[in-house]
């Protein structure tokens, strides 16, 4: 895993597909003096992703690769990552599955946040499944990405209690608040400057 050296921040790309609340949260975190990362690139596989607005707001370069074919997305993205000197990728609501080849090229340098207590509830529609199974707790996990879906080494987790009348939407909102605390903490845990 790459370490930040002194005050030189780690050049980071954030991959998004949707709203981008985690992206904005990570940008705010990166702007703090002691943050180990600087976000220099936003990548999206969805031209309509609401989170793309943060490119303009925070003056961060963005690239949109709206291709069904993974290969084209990855080839174009890899060129950008290289030309921008990216050393860390943070997936933040990125809904495309990256190939083993791509992940190997950035081995140990891709983080993801997932809205469940992994290894439980990998994949999509986590909140619906959690409620259907009458779980008392759910939560969120920051983990390293490997070639198996939502299965890489766990960096940090936060457990969240469900209320009696929890709905998928209320649970999503509740967990999202914790995601915004957990993701920066996980990055600090790995890379923090002294
Ligand atoms: C977040 O809840 C994130 O954990 C989840 O998508 C949401 C994105 O919200 N990610 C996944 O489900 C990945 N499998 P955001 O766009 O507001 O950050």
Distance of CA 50 from the midpoint of ligand 1 (Å): 13
What is the pLDDT at residue 93? 98
Q: pLDDT by residue (tens digit) across 123-164?
A: 999 999 999 999 999 999 999 999 999 999 999 999 999 999
185 located within any domain: yes
The count of domains in the chain is 1
Rounded to the nearest 5°, which phi and psi values hold at 71? -60, -45
Distance of CA 6 from the midpoint of ligand 1 (Å): 31
2 located within any domain: no
1 located within any domain: no
Ligand 1 pocket, 21 CB below 6 A? yes
**CA-proximal residue: ligand 1, atom 18 (nearest):** 22
CA dihedral 123, 80, 84, 140 (to 10 degrees): -10
Q: pLDDT by residue (tens digit) across 70-119?
A: 899 999 999 999 999 999 999 999 999 999 999 999 999 999 999 999 99
CATH number at residue 59: 3.40.50.170
Mean pLDDT of 40-56: 98
Mean pLDDT of 9-24: 98
Residue 61: domain span:
10-191
CB 147 within 8 A of CB 174: no
71 located within any domain: yes
Contacts of 158 (CB under 8 A, 6+ apart): 139, 140, 178, 181, 182
Ligand 1 pocket, 35 CB below 6 A? no
159 located within any domain: yes
pTM higher than 0.85: yes
What residues act catalytically?
A: 114
Ligand 1 pocket test, candidate residues 19, 110, 114, most atoms within 8 A of CB: 114
Rounded to the nearest integer, the mean pLDDT of the chain is: 95
123 located within any domain: yes
Ligand 1 pocket, 92 CB below 6 A? yes
What is the pLDDT at residue 69? 87
24 located within any domain: yes
110 located within any domain: yes
Q: Is the pLDDT of residue 3 over 80?
A: no
Which own/partner contact pairs does 52-61 have at CB distance under 8 Å and 24+ positions apart? 52/16, 52/20, 53/20, 54/20, 54/23, 54/24, 54/27, 58/24, 58/27, 60/27
What is the pLDDT at residue 1? 60
């Amino acid at each position: 895993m790459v370490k930040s050296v002194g005050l030189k921040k780690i050049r980071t790309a954030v991959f998004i597909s949707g709203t981008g609340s985690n992206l904005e949260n990570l940008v705010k975190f990166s702007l703090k003096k002691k943050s180990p990362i600087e976000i220099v690139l936003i990548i999206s596989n969805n031209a309509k992703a609401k989170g793309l607005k943060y490119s303009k707001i925070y003056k961060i370069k963005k690239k949109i690769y709206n291709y069904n074919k993974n290969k084209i997305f990855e080839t174009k993205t890899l060129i950008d990552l290289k030309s921008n000197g990216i050393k860390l990728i943070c997936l933040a609501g990125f809904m495309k599955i990256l190939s083993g080849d791509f992940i190997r090229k950035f081995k140990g340098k891709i983080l993801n946040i997932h809205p469940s207590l992994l290894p439980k509830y990998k994949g999509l529609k986590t909140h619906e499944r959690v409620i259907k199974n009458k779980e008392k707790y759910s939560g969120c996990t920051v983990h390293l990405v490997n070639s198996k879906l939502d299965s890489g080494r766990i960096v940090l987790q936060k457990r969240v209690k469900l209320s009696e009348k929890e709905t998928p939407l209320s649970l999503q909102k509740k967990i999202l608040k914790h995601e915004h605390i957990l993701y920066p903490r996980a990055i600090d845990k790995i890379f923090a400057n002294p």
